[in-house]
Amino acid sequence: MALGPRLDIRQTQSLVMTPQLQQAIKLLAASNLEIESFIAEALEANPLLDTGGPADAGAEPERIEPATAPGEDAPADQLMLAGGGEGDAPLDLASVDRDWDTGDGEARGPRDAEWGAAAGSGGDMGEAPDWEQLRAAEITLCEHLEAQVGLRTRDPQVSAIARHIIGLLDDAGYLTTPFSEVADDLGVGTEAAEAALTLVQSLDPVGVGARDLAECIALQAREADRYDPCMAMLIANLDLVAKGEVARLKRLCRVDDEDFADMLRELRSYDPRPGLAFASCDTSSVVPDILVQANAAGGWDIALNEDTLPKLIVNRGYFVELNAGATSKESRGWLKEKLADAHWLIRALDQRQKTILKTAAEIVRQQDGFFRRGVAELRPLTLREVAEKIEMHESTVSRVTSNKYLACARGTFELKYFFTSGVASADGEGASSAAIKARIRTLIDSETARTILSDQQLAEMLQKEGFDLARRTVAKYREAIGLGSSAQRRRAKKLASAS
């Protein structure tokens, strides 16, 4: 057989990731706020695009009546349309990327076990501004302290050292830099550095400039004129306070039950992080993408939050004007391209809304018990189940539920929150891990100092309620929600009863 070059014609199929398809995938995973930013950029780049006010004529709200099956007839996985012509075929995004995240998406916030944090109350001023937050936003801890230095001393050296120390404080108001390094860095004597530190520790808020928690609490106790030998001994043994060693502390402080309870109440009134009152506050709130509310028929009305989605239209009058003045082939081609881009973007955004609404409706249908009775009724749910119901691929559902939030009467939740793993139950349907955690928290919250439940007892109680859980699983869930062991809870209960 002779070897040589030759030409062959072969027919093959391949999927090309066009720029429009790539953009469609990004639009599907973007939140409403990101879409708003994207639309603003598109309006700048395309003169034929214009806003027509809020998207009032967008996708109609989905209505879910009790005990009804889904009835949407939307085509499977036809999420976006590419190109600008009338006959462009829909693109199947499911075939592009079938990788998706199976994480449960739960936001775990362990309980803050620290004591003494001062909590501000808003009072009953209705819509009045929060002056504490406004003050914190307007002035930093460093600025607040430096403004007081000039009023407390006229010694320029002490003032300069004090300002240097203030610059080293962390957000909580602590001096974390070793004190010896402070003096060495400035090349000053120890006495001058100590005088400056004493000055800083005398400033408001009381407790700033402390080098550890005990010194911070001691400064506040001195300011309150409660720093007697008994209180000093209690502050020197804060580790025993954390462990709940009540009997040992009473022996060390040489006080009776009544005095110890009074000291403990005083101790808890102090702020272990005084500088946080001036820390910058993140006042940004989550803007929900989907709104769910009960309807008169006993079902649910589901709609997109249109407040953040302006309606896009094609300015045809401007197109006609530009087209009439286009004299070259290049200008007419550019105008045609911008018109096609505008049509594609409007259709893509419309299909995105329908897809989100369709997915959210199925999630609400699957988690009906949660919306009616709370987290205890949250059932196990996977992306695959929702994808099969709405005839889309899991990767599509994963993108739709990313960075999207749902607002209902029970609060605002990320869509990923409703996808949880489950454990076996007596009814055979299974129970959500979030529901199990909520039940464990309820059982532990009902404990008293004499009825602390071990993990084994919790497992037995849950098994009687129909949940097939092992002791190790109960311990894992308990730790995940930030609750201590039975021994830790027993000491905490004793300490609370002593106060």
- Averaged over 312-326, what is the pLDDT? 84
Contacts of residue 222, defined as CB under 8 A and 6 or more positions apart, other chains included, come to none
Element (H, E) at 456: helix 455-464
Lowest pLDDT segment from 41-50, 357-366, 372-381, 395-404: 372-381
Domain with CATH 1.10.10.60 in the chain: 422-498
- Tell me: the pLDDT tens digits for 400-418? 888 888 999 888 888 888 8
Residue 57 has pLDDT above 60, yes or no: no
| pLDDT value for 360 | 92
Q: What are phi and psi of 64, to 5 degrees?
A: -115, 115
Question: 29 and 270 in contact (C-beta within 8 Å)?
Answer: no
Cα–Cα distance measured from residue 267 to residue 238, given in angstroms and rounded to the nearest whole number: 10
| pLDDT value for 363 | 92
| pLDDT value for 361 | 92
Cα–Cα distance measured from residue 85 to residue 70, given in angstroms and rounded to the nearest whole number: 32
Concatenate the DSSP letters of all residues of 245-287 into one string.
-HHHHHHHHT--HHHHHHHHHHHHTS-S-GGGGGSPP----PP
Residue 420 has pLDDT above 80, yes or no: no
Kindly state the greatest CA–CA separation across the chain: 108
| pLDDT value for 364 | 92
**Do strands 290-294 and 405-408 pair parallel, antiparallel, or not at all (unpaired)?**
parallel
What is the overall mean pLDDT for the chain? 76
Q: Which of 23-27, 96-100, 106-110, 416-420 has the highest mean pLDDT?
A: 416-420
Contacts of residue 440, defined as CB under 8 A and 6 or more positions apart, other chains included, come to 458, 462, 474, 477, 478, 481, 483
Q: What percent of the chain has pLDDT over 70?
A: 77
CA 441 to chain centre: 21
Residue 426, SS3? coil
Question: 29 and 352 in contact (C-beta within 8 Å)?
Answer: no
| pLDDT value for 117 | 31
- Tell me: the pLDDT tens digits for 341-352? 888 888 888 888
Question: 472 and 414 in contact (C-beta within 8 Å)?
Answer: no
CA 222 to chain centre: 39
Residue 479 has pLDDT above 60, yes or no: yes
The one-letter amino acid code at 459 reads A
Task: Please tell me which residue, 358 or 319, carries the higher pLDDT value.
Answer: 358
Taking CA 108 as the corner, what is the angle to CA 483 and CA 468, rounded to the nearest 5 degrees?
65
Residue 280 has pLDDT above 70, yes or no: no
- Tell me: the pLDDT tens digits for 114-154? 333 333 333 333 444 443 444 444 678 888 888 888 778 78
- Averaged over 34-54, what is the pLDDT? 82
Lowest pLDDT segment from 30-34, 123-127, 180-184: 123-127
| pLDDT value for 66 | 63
| pLDDT value for 431 | 65
Task: Please tell me which residue, 115 or 215, carries the higher pLDDT value.
Answer: 215
Residue 499 has pLDDT above 60, yes or no: no
Bridge partners of 73? Answer: none
- Averaged over 432-460, what is the pLDDT? 83
At residue 1 the predicted structure's pLDDT band, cuts being 50, 70 and 90, is: low
At residue 359 the predicted structure's pLDDT band, cuts being 50, 70 and 90, is: very high
Q: Which of 462-475 are b and which e, b meaning 16 or more Cβ less than 10 Å from the residue's Cβ?
A: beeeebebeeebbb
Tell the CATH topology of 422-498: Arc Repressor Mutant, subunit A (1.10.10)
Residue 474 has pLDDT above 50, yes or no: yes
**Do strands 90-92 and 78-81 pair parallel, antiparallel, or not at all (unpaired)?**
antiparallel
- Tell me: the pLDDT tens digits for 217-268? 999 988 888 888 888 898 998 888 888 788 888 888 888 888 888 888 888 8
